[in-house]
Amino acid sequence: MTQQTQPLDDAPDSNPGGKDPVPPHEHIESYGGGHIKGRHGRVDRWLLVVYAILFFWSFYYAFTYWGGLGPGLDY
């Protein structure tokens, strides 16, 4: 009971000549039946700012509120 698998359309050997017709920065990957699409690119500046704010906030929170036994447990 061996099951034969078909090669995928985007398999490397399905394209003769070895060149991808779509450049890597324009290649779109789809997930979830096409509802989610992903591509290679750069991270937006506003998202980098959010990452930086959360990074510094985590240190503030750790030094300010971390420690002890927890709420209601310290005597």
Q: Which two tokens stand for residue 40?
A: 């290679």
pTM of the shown model: 0.47
Distances (CA, A) of 37 to 11, 27, 31, 74: 19, 10, 6, 49
Q: What mean pLDDT is reported for the chain? A: 76
Spacing of C-alpha 55 from chain mean position: 18
Q: What pLDDT, on a 0 to 100 scale, did the predictor assign at position 41?
A: 79
Rg (C-alpha) for the chain, rounded Å, is 24
pLDDT in 10s for each residue of the chain, 75 residues: 555 555 455 555 555 666 777 776 678 888 888 888 888 878 899 999 999 999 999 988 888 887 666 666 655
